[in-house]
Amino acid sequence: MFELLLLSVGVGVALFVGFNIGGATTGPAFGPAVGADAISKTGAAGLMAVFFLIGGWTIGRQVVDTLGNELVTDPGVFTIHSSIVVLFFIGGALFIGNYYGVPASTSMTAVGAIAGLGVATDALNWVVMGEIAVWWIVAPIVGFWVSGMVGRYFYTRINEWVAITSTPGPLVEIDRTGVVPRPVTGPNTTRRELVGAIVVVSIGCLMAFSSGTSNIANAIAPLVGAGVDIDLMILLGCGAVAVGAFTIARRTLDTLGNDITELPLTAAIVVAVISSAIVIGLSAIGIPASFVIIATTSIIGLGWGRATRTTTLPDVVRGEKETNVSIGALTAETPGEEAPAIGEEEPEDIPSAGDLFDPATTGRVIVMQNVVPLLSTVGAYVTFSVLFRFVW
């Protein structure tokens, strides 16, 4: 009876983790699309739930095995007792980030908690941990600088190719005049705008799938390692993710879609392509991707690149214009003429740093995304190295 009660507590904590994963990962996947008015928050939550389940049910079960076996040298450290504690710190730390509207990295938070257990029990595989940590440092830097360079030198040309201009009103409406309601394009929606919206939403679905392949393990791997059926836990965990996507994720959708940087539809597509490419690349080599960090730094990098732009790369190559890349010249103009605004090409719409890149919000995001994984790591280590030694 006691074991059944303990298992119920463990499953409850795992569902709490899944709930917070839904809140933390929906923003990076669909924040650009929501910020560009390509999809509603409710629509984003629905797509997140579906594609997260597909990713978790297929590739995700392999990641569950990896996280429960390779990161620690002795999988026996995962008992029902220890799993509850690990999941408690994962869910608690993620909840703090979600409460403040900052989507923390579920991979970093989960790996941190398991690493705390591994260090306290002398069972951590330092080689695997070191490899993961290196990629967690490199990948966000790559995302920031690639997005920054695109925003600074290529965004105008890309926008000309895509030629997506947001029009007033919704992209899609529901026609209820017939027997069966059906979606129709909005009254002002252009074909290019609709195609662009489909592209950015599709990329969001791809990112949701990628999130499911890696993040479902963060909620259920400890319990599966302790002997709980993996199929049941995947279904329960994905259900909890769906609840989080429809509720607490609204905060992170606002943060990544609106507060950090303004994202016209073209910019949303650029951010989604860069961040999803990096996440897929990391997954291909077996690294649990820091999905949230990569997407967030890509958004920040694009906003910074757009705010600091004074010319385009072809102009630099031809030597026709000068450029100032210093941080202090965020709104510098090209000598001899007024620099056009990115994407709009109207002199009166020159973007400033305050318009495109919010330092206050960015600082809050960066601080919380480092604090949340630290809380789970330190909390798990202290608990297993001090308190549990007296219990066990």
Alpha-carbon distance of 214 to 209, in angstroms, equals 9
Identity at 155, one-letter amino acid code: Y
Q: Which of 1-10, 131-140, 318-327 has the highest mean pLDDT?
A: 131-140
- Decide: pTM greater than 0.85: no
Name the residue among 228, 14, 212, 230 with its Cα closest to residue 113: 14
DSSP 75-128: GGG--HHHHHHHHHHHHHHHHHHHHTT----HHHHHHHHHHHHHHHTT-B-HHH
- What digits encode the pLDDT tens for the residues 171-228? 667 777 777 877 777 677 677 777 777 887 888 898 898 888 878 888 898 888 788 8
Alpha-carbon distance of 310 to 339, in angstroms, equals 6
Identity at 128, one-letter amino acid code: V
Alpha-carbon distance of 196 to 202, in angstroms, equals 10
Q: Is the dihedral of CA 78, 228, 81, 287 positive or negative?
A: positive
* pLDDT of 257 higher than 50: yes
- Where do the structural domains in the chain lie, given as residue ranges? 2-391
User: In this structure, what are the phi and psi dihedrals at residue 175, rounded to the nearest 5 degrees?
Assistant: -90, 115
The model's confidence at residue 339, banded by pLDDT at 50, 70 and 90, is very low
Measured N-to-C along each axis, helices 191-225 and 230-246 cross at an angle, to the nearest 10 degrees, of 140
At residue 52, the 3 state secondary structure works out as helix
Average pLDDT, the chain: 75
- What digits encode the pLDDT tens for the residues 344-389? 444 344 444 444 455 666 666 667 767 778 888 888 888 888 765 5
Q: Is the dihedral of CA 338, 341, 346, 349 positive or negative?
A: negative
235 contacts 15 by C-beta, under 8 angstroms = no
Q: List Cβ neighbours of 344 (8 Å cut-off, separation of 6 or more).
A: none
| pLDDT for 47 | 95
